[in-house]
Amino acid sequence: MRVRLVTPDDAGPIASLLRANREFLTPWEPVRPDSFFTEEGQLAALRAALTEHELGLGHPLVVLDDDGEIVGRLNVTGIVRGAFQSANLGYWIAQSANGRGLATSAVAAAKELAFGELGLHRLQAATLLHNTASQKVLERNGFVRIGMAPAYLSIAGRWQDHLLFQVLAP
């Protein structure tokens, strides 16, 4: 497993992966328009993410399996500098790649990036209350639960509570 910065050429493979995993990801994602699942929709999303990257506000990555195939996405977003030096972490892994430790390894790579190249002090992640698999991924990577945020994000069409986790630079 490895991660790398997204490129516009990833739009087609990511769109295909999202379509194949649409039902699997629906309970964990915001409601998306049908256009999001097209190559054109993904190209627009990747270009926006790469613009944020150029501005130093985010780091959009793909997760690759041992064969170099894209099996998910990982995003360091909302980078804030100054006295905060913090960012948010989000990720998803295709259903076919679940249970192989890829999410755990990808989050470890995100920590390395955040506390190395990006020079951050803090990385935050949030999970739905019932997303115990993601909570375990975070905990295996040293994230600690810091609280619960009521109605934190609109997921699957409704505002849902989330558990908040953070990890600090060593």
For the segment 124-142, what is each residue's pLDDT rounded down to a tens digit?
999 999 999 999 999 999 9
Structure tokens at 29: 């994602």
pTM for the full predicted model: 0.95
Q: Which regions of the chain are under pLDDT 50? A: none
CA dihedral 83, 112, 3, 71 (to 10 degrees): -90
**Mind listing the domains of the chain with CATH numbers?**
2-122 (3.40.630.30)
Q: Name the region of 76 (left: φ>0; alpha: ψ -120 to 50; beta: rest).
A: beta
